[in-house]
Each structure stands twice: as structure tokens, then as C-alpha cells.
Amino acid sequence: MLACYTDRLSVRPGERFELRASATHGPCRLSMSRVGMDRREVLTIDGLMIGDHPVPPHADRDGCGWPVALEVEVGGDWASGYYDIVLTDADGGEAHHFVCVKPPLGERRSSAVMVLATNTYQSYNYWGGANAYANVAGLMSGETPFDQAMDEAIGVLSTQRPFPPLIVAPPADPPRLVNMRKRGYRERPWASDYAWMAKHKASPYDGSAGFLHKWEHVFVAWAEAEGYVLDFATDYDLEAEPNFLDGYEAVLFVGHSEYWSAGEREQVERFVDAGGRAAILSGNTCFWKVRWENDGKTYVCHKWRGFEAEDVPPDQATHLWSHPAFGKPEAEITGLSFVFAGYHRLGLCVARGQGGFTVYDDRHWALEGSDLFYGDLLGGDLPLIGYESDGCRFQFGDDGLPRAIPTLGVPANLEIIGIAPCAFGEEAGRGYNPIIPPEKLDVIADVMFGESSPEAQAKVLRGHAVLASFKRGAGEVFNSGTTEWAHGLGARDPFVETITHNVLRRFGVSRPGAPA
């Protein structure tokens, strides 16, 4: 076995972090590199002696407790960013982990900070057996049936353990979580790339989280190539440092920022209300409320079991942010919600979907200079919409433009730019075995409509992805409404690039190295 983890996921220059590891075939070589537009190695250590340590029972919940193999001091000249930690053993095997280097305390090298969706990484981390979704080890071994594996999900997860390789360091060609082409006539529905998943023995939970070669990495590579300079932080930093965003013009969330703690959300709301800007280039954003304990070493995420799994006051429970027990639906800060949208081009969820937004408000500031007009399709060839999307209920005005229906936190002043059909899950009894079965439709219907009748549940299944912006307090929010926005940038789509430049420029994001 070769595996490693750090005692914390974010550090500042001059601070130290612990690397804890287990290696059967030592000695090992350690390499650390900042990963962005390119890969820049900052540290190498050869001949590192590491013991062979067992995996304790319940490592997923309680952590590994391995001894410290090495303490690393972050260099004063290490730029803020994502740093890949690679441990190579004597047989050539590799294990990866990472740390996020924040800017020096009290300093800013950028006007904007990108918040890595590390809460999502933690929710999907099944190293040691289980994650917040299922008993993944039992499911993948075939020893545990799917329904039982789902029931064996855990809501208390340790951060003191490694990540599965396909989450923290997949090959350079991981498939996108969207069907790249439309379903053919009478073709059986599918999801993602089965051949790739079989080749790499991937679980259903590997593709939805992580940095390398996924949404955040794609965005950072594009942004740095375009001359943007960003500072970096993790979700937990916004929980642990209540004033972290002070002094920034903008905060960015990219890809799959699904899990937010109360402290993180409160800080983002204060930031926007005081005049900050939030660029949400993500889907399924702020869907689940989570909690941190034990100085960041314990992550609590009970999901649907939030009010039954533990005896805590309701305001401390973990569940849907849109649950009425909290009185704080996520759309109050994001403008949109997954409950109003869902999936596109995945399984039988809009299997022959357009893959992009139909443009309605072609005079919106974000579309300036984009050469997009009313009725045009934005990103259909990419596809720009797929996997998970956020939206809202709306109705058309006399001018033919959609107007948001202010419900479940959706602001009345939401400016809808474009829309596309989505499905919250696949309908049963339609002639195909479900791949994306709808989760807890009764709970979602009760949240959305105040009752969970079959009729209400049926209404949940149909929604729309929405591209939108709105002003809140003295600040402003832009929401792409899709997990896949970064892939539009990675494909160098000129329409997506123009809109993104417009958003970042309006939101004051630093671009000192812009191409001439």
C-alpha cells in the first residue's frame, strides 16, 4: 500500500503542514507542484523513509491516525494556488494528495479569490469504505446490494485520511459527466463513459469531485492563460476565517460547489451585501448544508438523514439548505436552485437535449459583444449543459421574455439570460431501466410546494437550467447554472469566453497579464 494525507488542506506561506503516509515499498520520493496553466515544481525530497501502517477500522469516520512522515514549510515565494503532492515509492507507485496555498496573511495578490469546492471533495471521499452517499467499498466489491450500500452511507467523515486516486489524481483524460451526443432512435440510455470507467475501475463517485483535470483545473488553466491572477482558498477557510473575503472585489465558485457550511454561506452573504461580487460558474451550488467540527478534522454531512441522525438543535442540523427548518433557501444567495432544474443529457434525463442555453435576454450586460441574439443557442455543440444544473420557476411576459417567479428564495429581480429543459430524475415505467432515479421526490415536493402528493412529486421532475444574474444589497451575483461552464472555456468557445470576460471585468477581477 502507498497512500498519504495532510493534517490540513490549506496553508499560508511560512506555515507548516504535516504529511502522514504509509508505504510498503520505501524509501520514497516527495514532489510538490503548483498546478494551473502549467505545472511548476517547488519541492523535491528523496530518500524519505516511511513506515508501513495498517488501515484502522472505520478510517472513513475516524481517520487513519498514521504518524507524521514529514513536516513541510511553505515557501515564502509560493504563489497562492492548488499544489499537487506526489509520493513515489521504490517500485514506481504513486500516491497523491494536495494542499491549497492561501495568500500571505493580510496580503492580496489579486482582487478575486477562487474557493475550491473541497466540501464536495470531502462528501465524495470514500477512502476507507464509505462516503456521504454509500458504502462504496461494499458496492464496488459486489458484496453489498445498491440499496443496502446507500443505506450504509455515513454522515460523519474524517478529513484525516487519503482520497481515492480517481478523485484526487485521475488520468489526464477523465470523461465529462455528460453524454457528449444525443441518444439515438430507440437507443438504450447511458451515462458518462462506461468503457473508461470499466478500464479504470471507477466508482460512481469518482467523477463528481476533485481538482486535477476536472472543472476547477480547466477553469484555472484558462484564466491564467488569459492573464487573470487569482488567490485561492478552500470552503473550510470561509468557515474558519469569518473575514477571509474582506478586501476582495470578487469571489468565484467553479464546477461543483454543492456543499456549504453555515459559516461559509454567512460570509459570502455579508460579502455580497457589502458590495462584493460572486461569480458562480457552477451547478448544484450550495445545495446541502454541512457542518465542521474538531477544528476541521471532522466533516458532518448527513444529507437526507439530517434531522434523524443526530440530536442537535435544528439550526445546526445538516440537510437541504432549502429545507423550511432553516428558513434560508440557497437561491437567496445563488439566485437559482437545483430543485428547479436537475440533469441534462444524462441517462434518460433530457437524453436528446439541446446541450446549451436558448438566449432570451440578448441585451443583458453579460452578452455584450458576444454576437448572441434572441433565440440563439449558447453552447449546444460543447455541450455546455449536462450533468447538474440550477434554475428557477418562471413565466413569460408580454414581451416574450421569461420572468422569475420569486419562490423558495429566488429573487424577484433575477435577470434571466437563457434557459434549457432539465429533469430532476428519470420517470419510472417509461420502458428503460433508470440510471438516474429521482432522489426523495417526496421531500423535494414538500420543500417546493408544501405537500408531497403524487401530483406534486410529478411536478418536481420537470425544470429548467437557467443562466442569470441579480443584484443583492450593494453587490451582485452571476450564476452560470451549470457544472459544465468551465468546459466551454476549455474548448475555447468564443461565446462562452466573451461572457466570462464580461463577468470577470464587471466584477473587478485582476488581469495584469492579459494577452496583447
pLDDT at 438: 87
> Per mean pLDDT, which range of 182-186, 215-219, 405-409, 425-429 is the poorest?
425-429
In sequence order, what are the beta bridge partners of 279?
252, 478
pLDDT above 90: residue 171 = yes
Query: What distance, in Å, lies between the first and last C-alpha atoms of the chain?
Result: 49
Q: Quickly state the pLDDT bin for 515 (edges 50, 70, 90).
A: confident
Question: What value does the mean pLDDT take over residues 16-31?
Answer: 97
pLDDT at 29: 98
Q: Give the whole-number percent of the chain exceeding pLDDT 90.
A: 95
pLDDT at 222: 98
Given 3.40.630.30, 3.50.50.60, 1.10.10.410, 2.60.40.10, which CATH number is that of 1-105?
2.60.40.10
Q: Give the whole-number percent of the chain exceeding pLDDT 70.
A: 100
Task: Parse the chain into domains and list their residue ranges.
Answer: 1-105, 339-468
Phi, psi values for residue 278, rounded to 5°: -115, 120
Q: Quickly state the pLDDT bin for 429 (edges 50, 70, 90).
A: confident
The predicted model scores a pTM of 0.97
In terms of C-beta density within 10 A (0-12 exposed, 13-18 middle, 19 or more buried), how is residue 449 classed?
middle
**Residue 273: how many CB atoms within 10 A of its CB?**
13
Question: What value does the mean pLDDT take over residues 45-69?
Answer: 97
- pLDDT tens digits, one per residue of 277-336: 999 999 999 999 999 999 999 999 999 999 999 999 988 999 999 999 999 999 999 999
Q: Quickly state the pLDDT bin for 491 (edges 50, 70, 90).
A: very high
3-class SS of residue 441: helix
Contact in structure between 272 and 477 (CB atoms under 8 Å): yes
Task: Give how far Cα 509 sits from Cα of 39, 111, 270, 502, 505, Å.
Answer: 23, 5, 19, 10, 6
